[in-house]
Structure 1
Amino acid sequence: MKTAFLIIVNLFSLLIYGNNNINFDSSNYVTYTNPLGVFVADPYVLKVGSNYYLYGTSVANIGFKVWESSNLVNWEEKGFAFNKFEEGNEWGQSDFWAPEVINYNNKYYMIYSARASDGHLKIAVAESLSPVGPFQNIKAPLFDDGFSNIDGHIFIDTDGIPYLFYVRDCSENIINGKHISQIYVRELSEDLTEVIGEPFLVVQPSQEWEGLTEEWQWNEGPFVLKENGIYYLLYSANYFASSEYSIGYATANNLKGPWIKSKDNPILSKDLSIGVSGPGHCSVTTSPDDSELFIVYHTHAFPKSPSGIRVLNIDRIYFDENGNLKILGPTRTPQPIP
């Protein structure tokens, strides 16, 4: 049933968005228009040479598909990067969510979360010699602290030390009677298979836009940048299937904190007047010539009926003269191609 559903969704995407997202206006100025027609949630883009590779929550009962592009706009599906039916990948049972891939020590490492046979969500690491896979587990689970954990993000600092950012999921994390998702950080071993030391709390819901009066609250989807010696943590808040799902950021001078949330949050949020609902769970990459930064994120495919069906978007992101993070979006009008 899941496979048939995805085939229908992919056909629907071709009908609505087409398979070529590049446009030429009357002056032959090349543009693209969001959304980009790839039905994927929690998108993560890895740049390798002149190509880009897109991963995300795609076939949650089997694993993760991968797409390839030369321009960040037009994407070609390349099949499964990770498949639970491959030998060695049997650990995860379902809920394969939010994969990310890094190029590290001449290999490609995928970090992802899945539901284990004991019913808890846990984080695992897989490796491959190619960005398109196949990826095979090398540590599953990566750790087990008695909670459900999701949304792993590996950040390699400028000194070469790897760190794991992850989310203690609100499904099992109850604080003062409320279900709350919190983002933590831990140092990783050089081979990425062991966590080192105790976890440090990075951020948790604390700003009004994050639904502080709700019984369920979220800070999730971490992604870290470093600029002029300052660390920037992009994260998402609110329920993923709500139009209020949005992106904020926090800064720190040290990966272990303290992290201070921006007073400008959220920096990317809904605009139902142009059909944008629930922009969130992002990654950041560079343009083909490395001159610009682009944020890669999902929105609800059907803005009037938000759900788990989400679609790919990209927009420009930059640091202003005061070091504040700014996004030129969300957009639904033609934008200059990267």
Structure 2
Amino acid sequence: MVNSHKENQKMVTYSNPVGGMNKIGDPFVLKKENSYYMYATSEPNFGFKVWKSDNLVNWEEKGLAYVHHEQPNKWATGDFWAPEVIHRNNRYYMTYSARNKDGHLQISVAASSDPLGPFTDISTEIIKQEGSYIDGHIFIGDDGTPYLYYVKDCSENKINGNHVSQILVQEMNKEITDVLGEPRLLLEPDQPWEGIEGDYQWNEGPFVMKDGQTYYLMYSANCFASSDYSVGYATSDQPLGPFKKATENPILAKNLSINISGPGHNSVTIGPDDKTLYIVYHTHTNPDAPSGNRQMNIDRLYFEEGKLIVDGPIVNEQTIKIK
């Protein structure tokens, strides 16, 4: 990977993968003022690491943002997955999932006064229904209403004899500690590229954006350890749906000719120029042996005539404009 800062042009050049980290997954990037913070599935036995950058390219590991054995209520046994962090009410809120002592996956919320942590659990059982739930994602509406998008995991969710992961949504309270109302089913595997002939099927990793009057729900399909893991999206005119999947899905998929395998579980952030959007996603570190060992990539993302388009996957040198 080539990283070099061109001061006179106010840009940084990079080649995917970025950051130099591997053995991670599900990268989520938070921009706060002029800094970026990346959280990922990284210490699945007990918590989450955090990295910091000022340009999206050069990342420094800053230690552990969340450590389970330091929590007042040590509720989980492992499988700490997919952390995401938002800033609200002058605090930072982390959603994540882990496996509880009864063997189910459950979503929790932790909070901190600093994006680097330490994060402390404030609500350890967001979803009360039976089953396993993962990939909590919080979207804040224009009126300040928080919404929790999450996944009913295929490990326990059986439909017509198949194990199926589905994406649901519920409104949250202002304190980000509980969900309100009844869950609404938004997405489930139903497009040909989503492995709908298999015994196990996935729609997971939700991420929501708004452009104009349209809400865009990005998601990943297929198994995370498959080269076919890819990203699609659906649209709606309201955050609670219904959402309609794009016919041009997937918008980010494998390209084994350039060693891109399993691109998915994305987040989106805005560049240092405060204008350009970037999709942040993982790919398999070893494309010949896809597994949970993954690395971080970033590519440009933009809207064109109501469609969401990824300029990637790209492994050639790219540039990021600096404000």
TM range (shorter): over 0.9
Structure 2 CA distance, aligned partners of 1:62 and 1:119? 15
* Residues 1:32 and 2:14 aligned together: yes
| Residue in structure 1 matching 2:257, options 258, 268, 273 | 273
Q: Match for 2:176: what amino acid?
A: L
* Residues 1:142 and 2:123 aligned together: no
Q: By how many angstroms is 1:163 displaced?
A: 0.5
| Residue in structure 2 matching 1:179, options 163, 177, 180 | 163
Q: By how many angstroms is 1:87 displaced?
A: 3.3
Aligned to 2:289: 305
Deviations 1:221-246 (A, max 9, x none): 00000010100000000000000000
Deviations 1:287-329 (A, max 9, x none): 0121100000000000111111000000000001x11000110
Q: By how many angstroms is 1:264 displaced?
A: 0.7
Structure 2 CA distance, aligned partners of 1:179 and 1:87? 33
| Residue in structure 1 matching 2:135, options 151, 164, 167 | 151
* Residues 1:333 and 2:293 aligned together: no
Spell out the pairing of 1:137-286 with structure 2 (5 A cutoff).
Answer: 137-286=121-270
Structure 1 CA distance, aligned partners of 2:142 and 2:112? 24
Normalised TM-score (structure 1): 0.92
| Residue in structure 2 matching 1:69, options 37, 53, 70 | 53
Query: 1:89–1:136: 8 Å Cα contact kept in structure 2?
Result: no
What's the C-alpha RMSD, in Å, of the aligned pairs? 1.4
For structure 2, the 5+ residue unaligned runs are none
Q: By how many angstroms is 1:143 displaced?
A: 2.5
Q: How many equivalent pairs are there?
A: 317
- With over 3 angstroms needed to count, the CA separation of the structure-2 counterparts of 1:160 and 1:128, relative to structure 1, is same
Q: Give 3-state SS (helix, strand or coil) of 2:70's partner.
A: coil
Aligned to 1:22: 3
Structure 2 CA distance, aligned partners of 1:68 and 1:92? 27
Q: By how many angstroms is 1:62 displaced?
A: 1.0
Structure 1 CA distance, aligned partners of 2:118 and 2:135? 21
| Residue in structure 2 matching 1:323, options 306, 314, 318 | 306
Deviations 1:251-274 (A, max 9, x none): 001122211000110000000000
Q: Match for 1:188: what amino acid?
A: M
Normalised TM-score (structure 2): 0.96
More strand by share: 2
Q: Give 3-state SS (helix, strand or coil) of 2:257's partner.
A: helix
Q: By how many angstroms is 1:24 displaced?
A: 6.7
Structure 1 CA distance, aligned partners of 2:278 and 2:138? 19
Aligned to 1:12: none
Query: 2:12–2:55: 8 Å Cα contact kept in structure 1?
Result: no
For structure 1, the 5+ residue unaligned runs are 1-16
* Residues 1:295 and 2:269 aligned together: no
Q: Match for 1:314: what amino acid?
A: I
Moved over 2 A (4+): 27-30
Spell out the pairing of 1:99-138 with structure 2 (5 A cutoff).
Answer: 99-138=83-122
- With over 3 angstroms needed to count, the CA separation of the structure-2 counterparts of 1:42 and 1:195, relative to structure 1, is same
Structure 2 CA distance, aligned partners of 1:203 and 1:24? 42
Q: Match for 2:15: what amino acid?
A: T
- With over 3 angstroms needed to count, the CA separation of the structure-2 counterparts of 1:89 and 1:23, relative to structure 1, is farther
Q: Give 3-state SS (helix, strand or coil) of 1:119's partner.
A: coil
Q: By how many angstroms is 1:56 displaced?
A: 0.7
Structure 2 CA distance, aligned partners of 1:130 and 1:277? 34
Query: 1:83–1:89: 8 Å Cα contact kept in structure 2?
Result: no
Q: Match for 2:217: what amino acid?
A: L
Structure 1 CA distance, aligned partners of 2:4 and 2:253? 26
Structure 1 CA distance, aligned partners of 2:91 and 2:316? 38
Q: By how many angstroms is 1:160 displaced?
A: 0.6
Q: By how many angstroms is 1:212 displaced?
A: 0.9
Aligned to 1:11: none
